[in-house]
Amino acid sequence: MTALGTTLIPKLVTASRELFPFIDLQAQYSGIKGEVLAAVTRVLDNQHFILGQEVSSLEKEIGQLIGTSFGVGCASGSDALLLALMAVNVGSGDEVITTPFTFIATAGSIARLRALPVFVDIDPETFNLDWKQVEAAITPRTKAIIPVHLFGLAAEMTKIMEVSRAHGVAVIEDAAQAIGARHNDRYLGNIGDCGCFSFFPSKNLGAAGDGGMVTTNAPELADRLSILRVHGSRRKYYYEVLGVNSRLDALQAAILRVKLKHLAEWTEGRRCNAHRYRRLFDEAGVNGHVALPTEPSGTYHVYNQFSVRVQQRDKLREHLRQRGIPSEIYYPLPLHLQSAFTYLGYREGAFPEAESASRQVLALPIFPEITEEQQRAVVNAISEFYVSKN
């Protein structure tokens, strides 16, 4: 998800009871409206809607941002994961190690290829794949590892890469929520064999609909990805392999190219708001009740979500709702306990850290345009909930 997909999307408009929205895309759009309309008009005037110059330019610009040699645009972040797995030849009977605490597309892309998702528990502080448990999960059938950079924070990529190289398995980064994030000064999506990004509207770099991209430094993978996204064809009506139809629309690419110019500013806004939350929570004296997001040394968090851990999460969320404060839960049930993955045979208790997180995480508004007054309202409402319990 990643955290990818649409099942638990945040509210994109202000509900009648809310003091402000969970994410304010209208505020973002108002500042770039002229640029966006000019880009859309450019595409409408030339009538080149599928792939083409806008997409190839965006692929180059994303590559320049994160330092990869190649970018391959596709229809969604979910498809980015699927295409990356196809590119490294994951298929029936193979195993792919990943986290149970993520959006379903991460493991769903594995299952769609008739491969087996193999879950490993998470680190309780970062919510990311616990690298210390990865090696024990590797078998002769392991073909790849998918670490998820959840909420915009890098997984422990140095250790994961060491394990993967020692065993000769591919690493596909699920960076759907983490464009612009870094691990030891390397951009995510430029560490593993492939990086997968989502441009769903609520992401830090969001389109006006679905969109995704796979990044890589390997020419052979880039070539394979480029034909897999167009039914396995390099030449019209001639098919080298069985691919899929997953092309990034030129209209979406044109809009994303406009937004990409502002991404650094928006990211800094999110980071400043995260720091302000920390100050406000400290001033409110509720840090004993609220565990704030961590940012380990050597990481650069981009805060697609500001997810805290709290006790009595559901009661707190209802308390916030009654006071007009929006919040979201990412994710209320880990993947190994979802009905769609019953066939894997996991039971409750298999991954206690993921299960605990699913009962305690709560995402607070963190969009770049949020004001100090709005953040203070969030913190005050949370403080009121815990103070009233004492």
Last residue of a domain, one of 227, 260, 293: 260
Q: Of 148, 76, 78, 93, which is closest to residue 119 (Cα–Cα)?
A: 148
Q: What is the pLDDT at residue 390?
A: 53
Report the mean per-residue pLDDT for the chain.
Answer: 94
- The 10s digit of each residue's pLDDT in 315-337 is 999 999 999 999 999 999 999 99
Residue 15 scores a pLDDT above 60: no
Q: What is the pLDDT at residue 17?
A: 80
Residues 284 and 225 both lie in one domain: no
Report DSSP state, residue 123: P
Question: What whole-number percentage of the chain has pLDDT above 90?
Answer: 93
- Phi (first) and psi of residue 386, to 5 degrees: -80, -35
CATH of the domain at 290: 3.90.1150.10
Residues 71 and 165 both lie in one domain: yes
Residues 114 and 175 both lie in one domain: yes
Strand partners, 173: 195
Residues 95 and 68 both lie in one domain: yes
**Residues 134, 137, 141, 147: what is their CA dihedral angle, to the nearest 10 degrees?**
-30
Rounded Cα distance, 44 and 322, in Å: 45
CATH of the domain at 251: 3.40.640.10
Longest CA pairwise span in the chain (Å): 71
> What is each CA distance from 338 to 107, 127, 325, 345, 355, in whole angstroms?
11, 18, 29, 11, 12
Last residue of a domain, one of 223, 241, 260: 260
Residues 163 and 312 both lie in one domain: no
Q: Which residues of 197-229 are buried (b: 16+ CB within 10 A; e: fewer)?
A: bbbbbbbbbbbbebbbbbbbbbeebbebbbbbb
**Residues of the domain holding 91:** 25-260
Number of domains in the chain: 2
212: its two tokens: 């995704």
- The 10s digit of each residue's pLDDT in 99-136 is 999 999 999 999 999 999 999 999 999 999 999 999 99
Residues 120 and 210 both lie in one domain: yes
Cβ atoms within 10 Å, residue 132: 13
- Domain contains 155: yes
More confident residue, 389 or 385: 385
Residues 161 and 229 both lie in one domain: yes
Residues 206 and 314 both lie in one domain: no
- The 10s digit of each residue's pLDDT in 56-102 is 999 999 999 999 999 999 999 999 999 999 999 999 999 999 999 99
Last residue of a domain, one of 260, 275, 294: 260
pTM: 0.93
6: its two tokens: 């649409």
Residues 246 and 305 both lie in one domain: no
- Domain contains 13: no
Q: Which residues, other chains included, contact 372 with Cβ-Cβ below 8 Å and sequence gap of 6+? A: 276
Q: What is the pLDDT at residue 151?
A: 98
Rounded Cα distance, 185 and 346, in Å: 37
Residues 132 and 248 both lie in one domain: yes
CB 12 within 8 A of CB 201: yes
- Domain contains 76: yes
Residues 282 and 253 both lie in one domain: no
- Domain contains 4: no
Residues 201 and 284 both lie in one domain: no
